[in-house]
Amino acid sequence: MPKHTKKRSTIKRKHRRMKEHAESNKAKVLDDKQLSKEYGPYNINKRAFGED
């Protein structure tokens, strides 16, 4: 008996979902970078450790 394998459509659906999540995460990362630039002077952690 051959072992059961997932159908191609299921795999395609999974890949599409992963791709959508990756794109939304990429957009979030860009937003976070922009926010950190804007609020950089107010960042307590940076001030405490002397990074800049």
Residue-level pLDDT at 13:
93
**Per-residue pLDDT tens listing for the chain (52 residues):** 567 777 888 889 999 999 988 888 887 888 877 777 777 766 666 655 555 4
**pTM for the whole structure:** 0.42
The CA-atom distances, in angstroms, between 52 and each of 6, 39, 40 are 50, 12, 9
Distance CA 44, CA 40 (A): 9
- Tell me the domain boundaries of the chain: 10-49
